[in-house]
Structure 1
Amino acid sequence: MTKKWDNQPYTGDDLVGTVTGQPTDGDPVAYQLSDLSGDTAVGTYPITVTVGTNPNYDVTTTPGTLTITEADTQYLKVNYEDDTTGKHLRTDTDHGYTGTQSDYKTAGAIAAYEQDGYDLVSDDFPASGVTFDDDTTVDQLFTVHLKHHVDTVTPDNPHDPGTPIDPSNPTGPQWPTGVTETDLNHTVTETIQYRFANGKTLRRRTKSA
């Protein structure tokens, strides 16, 4: 008997002995096969037969084997996409045997992108992790969508160019020029002239804001 490794005991329906020479109406042959419940690693294991009390038979046995082969290697890919520019940022990959759990998580990469000025749009990688499937023809694919973070700067909230946008991330994106108090506040003068129909000025009013 053979099976691919899945870290589980063999549970096939064929884990029974083949009895030959027993009459159709004869007593069943008493026997027991060795316990395979602890044999889960890759390798070959003997299947021995322990014969019980069979007063009507002269029983001979032939042992069998259980061979556990290496499981298929499966692959997953996680694509990171910039939705603001439409650019592909990167692809992370991981691999493992069918039925095993991947150690990969997207949280670390997303946190790094957020420090660089991105916002998370969506992440279809399961938070509980991924178990490698049994399809060797198709990789397991996941996508993380990100967009550029936007801060609105107002005259009441100026900033110093060259300083970190996020004070907790001093090496991250910095404020550009044009965001100081002087840049954001300007004096506008409005002059209104009142004229008669003949074109003569009646009065002039000036207002600054």
Structure 2
Amino acid sequence: MKNIRYNLGLHYDGDPCQWYGVSCSENEGNDIVGLYFSHFNMNNSIWQYVCKLPALQLLDLSDNGLQSPIPECVGSFANLKILRLSSNLLSESIPPQLFSMKNLSTLDLTHNQLTGPIPPQLFSLSNLAYLDLSYNNLSGNIPITLSNLRFIESLDISNNRLTGEIPEALGNLSELHWLNLSHNKLTGQIPEA
């Protein structure tokens, strides 16, 4: 774990659990459970260190200018609850490895360069309360599996290239308080809850 400090430009010695932006569990092993590295001006090599932290519950690498696809290893964080990768230059499609993160409650991928359709399996993450996919280049229809998001409170898929009918399933999302579908090419009415 020593090498992580050099990669991050952190000039701290000693226990990484004492570093700014790092939180650790209180168990014997002091597992790193949170990385709050927003606005740290990191490069893509951060992934080789992050991918070795299986106990992560929170990962915030937003606003860093990361230029890569979302790495497959992100899907291996079984305990991850919050994933914020917004305002980078992440490319390609949303990787299927994300669909295995059943504890995820917050997924923020806004302001990237993600392409392709919204995978229907993304909505199998039934514990999601906050989902932001806005300001990407996502295309295709909104999957009807949207109705699986029974705890969703905030959903923003604006400013993409989505087409087709607004799904009736939106009306079944009883916890939804914030919805933004604007700046797409969607048709139809937003169904009443």
Q: Which has the larger radius of gyration?
A: 1
TM above 0.5: no
Structure (1 or 2) with the greater strand fraction: 1
TM-score bracket, shorter-length normalisation: under 0.3
Compute the TM-score of the two structures, normalised by the length of structure 2: 0.18
